[in-house]
C-alpha cells in the first residue's frame, strides 16, 4: 500500500478511506489504540491480532490469595474472554478452567513453587492476551505436623498454619482412610482456625486433610501396634524401643525431646496456671524412625527442656531435644533455636561406638566398646569428670582411666561401675550423692566409700543406688525416704533380695528376683516411706525404670506399664490422670 492511497476495511459494510499521507502514521495510530485499551494500573495487554479487534484485559481475581499447594477456587474477571486458549497464574495453568462468559473465568489455582505476588495471564487465539500483574498472592498453608507416627489407640492434635490470617474457619478435618485413623474438629481446644483431632484405629497410614476457605492442606499419619523391648522413664517424658528397634516417646515435648517436629503442639499442658507447654499422652514415633537398641531420657529438666539419646546396634549414639549446654554432643550449643532445639536424631560427634549411654539434666555420658568413659555437655559441677569445670560440646574422655561396665547420670552428677564392681562417682555432691562420705563436689571420679562391690548402679536426681551380687540394695544421697541425707552407702530397709534397681527423682524402685516391684521414697501419697512398698496390681516385671515422680516397667510377658504422676502424659496411657496402679502404655496388644 502506498501512503495516501485508499485503505479498504473489510466487514459487513465494507468501505474505503484514504490512508495517511505521511510515513509512520499507521504505526502511531495502532499504538495509540493499544494504549487506550490498557486500562487500570495493573493491567497490561498485547496488541490485538487485527486492526479493530479489542484485546483481552484482566482486571481482578477473587479471592486474591491462596496457598502454595494450590487448589483454591477463584473467579477471574475482565473483558474479551473469547476463544481462550490459556489461563496461567504465576506461569502455571489454571485448573478446571471454565469460561463462564466473556467477562468471567473460574477455576482452581495451580501449585506454586514460591510465595508472593503472581501474575495472571489470559490468552485468546483471536484477542491476544491480557495480564493482571501481581494480582494473586501465594502464601503458606500447611498442616502441622506434616507427618507423624503414633500407635493404635493413640491420638494427635493437628494445626493449620498459614503465613496469612485465615480467621476462625470454617475448617473441616477428614481422613482418607478412616479404618486406620479418624479425624474431626477438636472439641477440647478452641482456636482460630480450629484444631484437628486424629485418633488411631488400626495399623497403617492415612492422609489427613484440612479443608479451608483457601483450599486444602494435608498431612500423613501412620499407626502401629507395638511390642516394647525396653522403656526409659525420664524426668517428664519417657521413651520405649519396640521389638523391631523403633523408638516411640511420650510426655513433655516442649524441647522436642520426643523426637517429633518442633511445631507439632500435640496436647497442651498448663504450667503454673498460665504457660502452655507441648506434651502428648500418646506414644509418638521418633522422627526418621531410626533403629535403636536402647533409648535414654534426661533425668531432670532444666528451664531449657529435656533431651533423649539412643544407641544403634553398631553402638552409634544419636541425640535430640534441648542442646542449650551442648548435651547432644554434636559440636554445637547456644540459645538460638536452630542449635538449641534439635528435632531429628543427630549423631554424636567423634564416631565412637558405645555400649551404654545416659543423660542427666544438661550433660550426657557413655561407655565405649573399649570400656572407656566419655562425657559432654554442662560441666558446672565437674559432672563430666574431666578434672575441670569447662563444658564440652563433643565427647571428652573422663580424666581417670577406668575400665567401666556401666555408667549413670544424675541431675548434675555421674557414676560409673568398673568391670570388677567398684563404683566411682563425680560431679555435684551437695546432698552426698557421690557416696564419698562428705558433701564435697569432685571434678574427677572418686571411689564410693564402704568397699562394697556392686553388680549394678543407678543414678537418680539427687541420689545413687547400687546392687550387690547378693541382691542387697544400697543407696546414698537425698530423696531416699529418710528425713536426713546419707553421704555413704546405706542398706535399704526391709531385707528384700533384689535383681534390679532404679533410682528416680523423688523415689527408688527395685525388682525382686521373682519380678515383684517395690518402691520407696516419695510415693506421692502424702507420706515418705523408707521401707520398700509393693506395687499394686500383681504384675511381675523383667525391668523397671523410675522417672522423676512416676515409674515404668516391662513385664515378663513384654508389656510396658507406667504409674504415678501423669501431668505431662508421661504414663503414655492417653490420659493425664494420676494413678498408683500400673496402666498399660497405649498401642500394645
Is 346 found in the same domain as 247? yes
Stated length of the chain: 589
Query: What is the CATH classification number for the domain harbouring 211?
Result: 2.60.40.1080
Q: Percent of the chain at pLDDT above 70?
A: 84
| Domain stops at, among 171, 204, 224 | 224
Position 349 pLDDT exceeds 80: yes
Is 146 found in the same domain as 121? no
Is 169 found in the same domain as 263? no
Is 201 found in the same domain as 259? no
In a domain, 417, yes or no: yes
C-alpha cell of residue 379: 560441666
C-alpha cell of residue 572: 503414655
Q: What's the pLDDT at 14?
A: 38
In a domain, 589, yes or no: no
C-alpha cell of residue 403: 575400665
Is 291 found in the same domain as 192? no
Q: What's the pLDDT at 396?
A: 98
Domain count within the chain: 4
In a domain, 128, yes or no: yes
Position 152 pLDDT exceeds 50: yes
Q: What's the pLDDT at 214?
A: 75
In a domain, 151, yes or no: yes
Given a contact cutoff of 8 angstroms between Cβ atoms, the answer to whether 442 and 382 are in contact is yes
DSSP designation for 110:
P
Q: What's the pLDDT at 338?
A: 61
Q: What's the pLDDT at 16?
A: 42
Give me the chain's average pLDDT, please. 88
In a domain, 268, yes or no: yes
Per residue in 210-251, pLDDT tens? 988 777 889 999 999 999 999 999 999 999 999 999 999 999
Is 153 found in the same domain as 132? no
Given a contact cutoff of 8 angstroms between Cβ atoms, the answer to whether 339 and 332 are in contact is yes
Is 330 found in the same domain as 473? yes
Is 316 found in the same domain as 171? no
Residue 11 lies in domain = 1-37
CA distance 154 to 100: 48
Is 14 found in the same domain as 68? no
- Residue 28: enclosing H or E segment and its boundaries? helix 25-37
- Ramachandran sector of residue 495 (left: φ over 0; alpha: ψ -120 to 50; beta: rest): left
Query: What is the CATH classification number for the domain harbouring 537?
Result: 2.130.10.30
Q: What's the pLDDT at 241?
A: 98
C-alpha cell of residue 56: 483481552
Q: For cell 552407702, name the residue.
A: 489
With cut-offs at 50, 70 and 90, classify the pLDDT of residue 479.
confident
Average pLDDT over residues 188-196: 68
Q: For cell 484405629, name the residue.
A: 201
Query: What is the CATH classification number for the domain harbouring 97?
Result: 2.60.40.10
CA distance 371 to 353: 10
Q: Percent of the chain at pLDDT above 90?
A: 70
| Helix, coil or strand: residue 380 | coil
Average pLDDT over residues 255-280: 68
Residue (of 449, 508, 515) closest to 473 by Cα position: 508
CA distance 267 to 253: 10
Given a contact cutoff of 8 angstroms between Cβ atoms, the answer to whether 423 and 435 are in contact is yes
Is 181 found in the same domain as 107? no
| Domain stops at, among 224, 255, 271 | 224
Is 31 found in the same domain as 58? no
Is 526 found in the same domain as 539? yes
DSSP designation for 403:
-
| Domain stops at, among 224, 257, 291 | 224
In a domain, 256, yes or no: yes
Higher-confidence residue of 167 and 222: namely 222
Q: What's the pLDDT at 532?
A: 95
- Residue 337: enclosing H or E segment and its boundaries? helix 337-340
Per residue in 362-417, pLDDT tens? 999 999 999 999 999 999 999 999 999 999 999 999 998 899 999 999 999 999 99
Average pLDDT over residues 506-526: 89
| Range of lowest pLDDT (294-308, 373-387, 560-574) | 294-308
Amino acid at each position: 500500500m502506498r501512503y495516501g492511497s485508499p485503505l479498504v476495511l473489510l466487514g459487513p459494510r465494507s468501505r474505503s478511506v484514504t490512508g495517511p499521507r505521511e510515513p509512520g502514521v499507521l504505526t502511531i495510530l495502532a499504538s495509540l489504540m493499544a494504549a487506550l485499551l490498557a486500562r487500570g494500573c495493573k493491567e497490561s495487554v498485547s496488541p490485538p491480532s487485527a486492526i479493530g479487534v479489542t484485546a483481552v484485559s484482566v482486571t481482578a481475581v477473587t479471592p486474591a490469595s491462596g496457598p502454595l499447594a494450590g487448589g483454591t477456587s477463584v473467579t477471574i474477571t475482565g473483558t474479551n474472554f473469547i476463544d481462550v486458549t490459556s489461563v496461567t497464574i504465576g506461569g502455571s495453568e489454571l485448573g478446571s478452567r471454565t469460561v463462564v462468559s466473556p467477562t468471567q473465568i473460574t477455576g482452581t489455582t495451580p501449585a506454586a513453587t514460591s510465595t508472593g505476588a503472581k501474575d495472571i495471564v489470559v490468552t485468546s487465539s483471536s484477542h491476544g492476551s491480557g495480564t493482571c500483574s501481581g494480582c494473586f498472592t501465594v502464601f503458606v498453608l500447611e498442616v502441622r505436623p506434616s507427618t507423624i507416627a503414633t500407635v493404635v489407640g493413640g491420638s494427635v492434635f493437628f494445626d493449620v498454619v498459614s503465613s496469612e490470617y485465615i480467621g476462625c474457619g470454617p475448617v473441616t478435618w477428614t481422613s482418607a482412610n478412616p479404618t486406620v485413623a479418624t479425624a474431626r474438629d477438636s472439641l477440647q481446644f478452641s482456636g482460630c482456625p480450629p484444631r484437628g483431632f486424629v485418633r488411631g484405629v488400626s495399623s497403617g497410614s492415612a492422609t489427613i486433610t484440612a479443608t479451608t476457605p483457601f483450599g486444602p492442606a494435608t498431612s500423613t499419619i501412620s499407626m502401629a501396634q507395638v511390642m516394647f523391648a525396653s522403656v526409659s522413664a525420664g524426668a517428664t517424658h519417657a521413651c520405649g524401643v519396640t521389638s523391631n528397634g523403633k523408638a516411640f516417646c511420650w510426655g513433655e515435648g516442649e524441647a522436642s525431646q520426643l523426637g517429633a517436629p518442633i511445631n507439632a503442639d500435640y496436647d497442651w499442658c498448663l504450667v503454673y496456671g498460665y504457660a502452655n507447654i507441648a506434651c502428648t499422652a500418646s506414644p509418638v514415633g521418633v522422627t526418621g524412625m531410626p533403629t535403636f537398641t536402647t533409648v535414654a531420657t534426661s533425668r531432670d529438666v532444666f528451664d531449657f527442656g529435656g533431651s533423649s539419646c539412643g544407641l544403634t546396634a553398631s553402638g552409634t549414639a544419636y541425640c535430640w531435644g534441648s542442646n542449650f549446654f551442648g548435651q547432644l554432643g554434636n559440636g554445637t550449643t547456644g540459645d538460638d533455636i536452630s542449635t538449641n532445639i534439635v528435632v531429628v536424631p543427630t549423631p554424636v560427634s567423634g564416631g565412637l561406638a558405645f555400649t551404654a549411654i545416659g543423660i542427666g539434666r544438661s550433660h550426657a555420658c557413655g561407655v565405649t566398646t573399649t570400656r572407656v568413659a566419655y562425657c559432654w555437655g554442662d560441666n558446672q559441677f565437674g559432672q563430666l569428670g574431666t578434672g575441670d569445670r569447662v563444658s564440652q560440646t563433643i565427647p571428652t574422655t573422663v580424666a581417670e582411666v577406668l575400665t567401666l561396665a556401666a555408667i549413670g547420670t544424675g541431675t548434675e552428677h555421674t557414676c560409673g561401675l568398673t568391670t570388677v564392681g567398684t563404683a566411682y562417682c563425680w560431679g555435684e555432691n551437695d546432698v552426698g550423692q557421690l557416696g564419698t562420705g562428705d558433701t564435697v563436689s569432685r571434678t574427677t571420679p572418686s571411689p564410693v566409700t564402704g568397699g562394697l562391690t556392686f553388680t549394678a548402679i543407678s543414678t537418680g536426681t539427687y541420689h545413687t543406688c547400687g546392687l550387690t551380687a547378693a541382691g542387697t540394695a544400697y543407696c546414698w544421697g537425698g530423696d531416699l525416704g529418710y528425713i536426713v541425707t546419707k553421704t555413704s552407702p546405706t542398706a535399704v530397709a526391709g531385707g528384700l533380695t533384689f535383681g534390679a534397681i532404679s533410682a528416680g527423682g523423688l523415689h527408688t524402685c527395685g525388682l525382686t528376683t521373682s519380678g515383684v516391684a517395690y518402691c520407696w521414697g516419695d510415693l506421692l501419697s502424702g507420706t515418705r516411706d523408707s521401707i520398700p512398698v509393693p506395687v499394686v496390681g500383681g504384675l511381675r516385671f523383667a525391668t523397671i525404670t523410675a522417672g522423676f515422680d512416676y515409674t515404668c516397667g516391662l513385664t515378663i510377658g513384654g508389656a510396658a506399664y507406667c504409674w504415678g504422676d501423669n501431668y505431662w502424659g508421661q504414663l503414655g496411657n492417653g490420659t493425664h490422670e494420676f494413678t498408683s496402679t500400673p496402666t498399660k502404655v497405649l498401642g500394645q496388644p
